[in-house]
Amino acid sequence: MTDLAHTTEHHDEHESTGIDNRKLGMWVFLSSEFLFFGALISNYLLYGNRDFDTVTPREIYDIPFTSFSSFVLLMSSLTMVLAHDALSRDDQAQTRTWLFATGALGSVFLGGQVFEFYEFITAEGMTLTTNPASSSFFLLTGFHGVHVAMGVLMLFSLFGMSLRQGRLSSRSGLNVEYVGLYWHFVDIIWIVIFTLVYLLSAA
C-alpha cells in the first residue's frame, strides 16, 4: 500500500525513517493491538474450555453459521484491497463500489454476530455473567465486534466523503490505505478467533 503514499505525499522523503509518520503510527498501533487481543484470547483459552454447571459457549457453537460469517469477513478483505487498488488507478467509481461492498460485508458479519449473541442469550440462556467461560467468550468476540463496527463506520464515512466530494482526494487516498490496514487486521484477528475459539474449542 505504498503507491499512494509516495505519489501523493511529497513530504514523505523528509521523514527520518523514509516512511510517512502516520503510516508508521498505524502499523505500531496495529502491532499493539496484538497485545490487546492476546489478553482476551488468553483469557478465553484459560476459561473457555473449562466445564461449569451452567451452559458454556463451546456446547452451543453453530459452526456452519460461524463458518459462513468467517467467509464473509474474509471476502471483505478482498473487496477492501480492490478498493485501494482502484483508487491507486484513480478509478473513483470502482473505489466507491468496493468501499461500499466492504462496508456491506462488514455489516453482514456484524448482523451475524448480533444474531449469534441473541440466540445464545435468549434461546440458550447464556449471558455475560453465566460463568467465566461465557464471560471470556462475550468479551473476546464482543470487542472484536466493536472493532468491526468501527471499521464499518470508517468505510461508510469514506464512501460518504466520496459521494459528497464527487471523488476521493489524494489525502483521502491515504485514509483508504489506513482504513484498509485496520480492516485487514480485524480480519486476521478473526482468523485466529475462528480457529482457536470456535473450531478447536468445539472439536
Partner 1 sequence: MSTEHAHPTPKMYVRIAGILAVLTAVEVGLFYMEETVGSGLARTLLVALAFVKFVGVIGWYMHLRFESGLLSRFFSAGFFLAMGLYAIVLGSFALAALL
Closer residue to partner 1 (CB): 92 or 127:
92
Mapped onto helix, strand or coil, the DSSP state of residue 53 is coil
The per-residue b/e assignment along 33-68, b for 16 or more CB within 10 angstroms, e otherwise, is eeeebeebbebbeebbbeeeeebbbbebbbeeebee
Q: How far apart are CA 130 and CA 177, in angstroms?
A: 41
Closer residue to partner 1 (CB): 2 or 122:
2
Q: How far apart are CA 118 and CA 120, in angstroms?
A: 6
Is the Cβ–Cβ distance between 154 and 26 less than 8 Å? Answer: no
Nearest distance, CB of residue 164 and partner 1, angstroms = 26
Nearest distance, CB of residue 39 and partner 1, angstroms = 7
Q: Which amino acid is at 111?
A: G
Closer residue to partner 1 (CB): 100 or 185:
185
Closer residue to partner 1 (CB): 70 or 134:
70
Closer residue to partner 1 (CB): 33 or 124:
33
Closer residue to partner 1 (CB): 27 or 118:
27
Running DSSP on this structure, what letter comes out for residue 12?
G
Nearest distance, CB of residue 185 and partner 1, angstroms = 7
Is the Cβ–Cβ distance between 96 and 159 less than 8 Å? Answer: yes
Q: How far apart are CA 193 and CA 189, in angstroms?
A: 6
Nearest distance, CB of residue 171 and partner 1, angstroms = 19
Nearest distance, CB of residue 46 and partner 1, angstroms = 6
Nearest distance, CB of residue 53 and partner 1, angstroms = 20
Please give the residue ranges that form the binding site for partner 1 (CB under 8 A): 1-3, 6, 17-19, 23-24, 27-28, 30-35, 37-39, 41-42, 45-46, 63-64, 67, 70-71, 74-75, 77-78, 80-82, 85, 88, 180-181, 184-185, 187-188, 191-192, 194-196, 199-200, 202-203
- Which residues, at least 6 apart from 202, have a Cβ–Cβ distance to it below 8 Å? 58, 61, 63
